[in-house]
Amino acid sequence: MYMGNQREIIRRFLYENQAEMISLWKRIVDINSGTPNKRGTDEVCAVLAAEMKKSGIQVKIIEEEENGNTLVGTWNPGSTEKPVIFMGHMDTVFNEQTENGKFRIQNGKAYGHGVLDMKGGLVISIYVCRALQECGYCGRPVKFVFAGDEETAHSGGKTAETMENEIRGSCAAFNFETGDIQDGIVVGRLGAGVFTIETRGVAAHSGNNPADGKNALEAMARKIVELQNLNDIENGKLMNVAVIQAGEKTNIIPERCVAKGCFRFKTKEAYKELKQKILQICETVSVPGTQGVYISESKIECMEPSRENYRLFRLMESVAEETGYGPIHAKEVGGGSDSNIPASLGIPTVCGVGVRGEYNHTEREYAVVDSMAARCELIVNTILRLDELE
């Protein structure tokens, strides 16, 4: 049952705990947790695990060999309802601790490595749970799933698998990633594939035996034109051939050419179509006597802008209006995050619900201090109305 006075309790709780929230924020920003720094990332994990335990959240730390550990916390595990997922990552892109990386506040803005991406969001998620406890909520379980190696797409570890297993069967997922300064809430993210292709021809002296040579560079050039033509921005298909290597001397017909590129896709369907066409272009002989070979690909899944995601967004939007948070809007972006994991399981997912700010992944990164309590309040009130989703 959702009651008006719960809102008052939540607001007061967040107001009274603002200083404590900021001090936890400072504590974890001041620990360097660049992805390769397993020690630092695990230290952030330990601090958050201790905070969770203080609030009666059951904690499980899943050890990773090389990468940062994964933190899983469950509150209200006795409930028979489907859990709500709070996602995040504890690593940052900053591999070195510098003075500029330390937490500080100037004119209402917080600075420091990972302050926006996404240590502020981690703090919010814990206080959302505490505020729910404060107002007597005892509906769904809340499950935290924090990765220690998100910025390198979990490569070389089992985190993605762990996350998928922990998230499966939940009713909604909130990813407390970098919040948009303009209050855009992310409902879709493009997936990406990085590929390498090679053309093979026959080397020959370009003056003495021109007819013997099969120019691999020309073959690739023709393929590149076709690959670039796959760009269809409106339908969420992007192609960028970006690196090319071929040839040694101007009097030798090049026998080998390697090209690398990246394609992006909005849906799984778009991925299939793009991949099929890339293979086709690669295999079709573009210069007689040459051959094209698809060498490799690494892939980040897309977060499809599904009806489910939009439903969760609409609920948040209505809460934002009703509680005086102000207008929010749905946004689809190019870059990836872990939100593809719940989204591809069909779970209503919103991303970028952490502190608001700008310039993540750079030294200029900052977050708006007041957005911490405001976003916290917005998510708590959304969870109190989550039954409307079903």
**Which sequence positions are flagged as catalytic?**
91, 150
CB 21 within 8 A of CB 99: no
Contact 200, 291 (CB under 8 A): yes
Q: Is 118 in the site for Zn ion (CB under 5 A)?
A: yes
Which tokens hold the place of 359? 């310039």
* CB 150, min distance to Zn ion, A: 6
- Cβ(256)–Cβ(293) below 8 Å: no
Closer CB to Zn ion, 177 or 308, in the complex: 177
Per CB under 5 A, the list member of 42, 64, 91, 117 interacting with Zn ion is 117
Nearest-CB residue to Zn ion? 117
Nearer to Zn ion (CB atom), residue 118 or residue 197: 118
Nearer to Zn ion, 110 or 118 (CB): 118
Minimum distance from CB of 25 to Zn ion (Å)?
A: 15
Minimum gap (Å) between residue 178 Cβ and Zn ion: 6
Could you tell me how many residues of this chain bind Zn ion (CB under 5 A)? 3
- How far apart, in whole angstroms, are the C-alpha atoms of residue 10 and residue 13? 5
Smallest gap from Cβ 3 to Zn ion, in A, equals 35
91 binds Zn ion (CB under 5 A): no
Nearer to Zn ion, 163 or 319 (CB): 163
Contacts of 130 (CB under 8 A, 6+ apart): 13, 17, 55
Contact 371, 325 (CB under 8 A): no
| Contact code string over 173-202 relative to Zn ion, x by CB under 5 A | ----x-------------------------
Residues 237-256, one symbol each (x = binds Zn ion by CB under 5 A, - = not), give --------------------
Give me the torsion for CA of 256, 257, 260, 263, rounded to 10°.
-110
Considering the rule CB under 5 A, would residue 160 count as an interface residue with Zn ion? Answer: no
Q: How far is the CB of 185 from Zn ion (least distance, A)?
A: 15
At CB < 8 A and 24+ separation, what contacts does 152-157 make?
152/35, 152/67, 152/91, 153/300, 153/336, 154/67, 156/66, 156/67, 157/64, 157/65, 157/66, 157/67
Cβ-contact 292, 222 below 8 angstroms: no
CA dist 11 and 1 (Å) reads 18
Give contact residues for Zn ion (rule: CB under 5 A).
117-118, 177
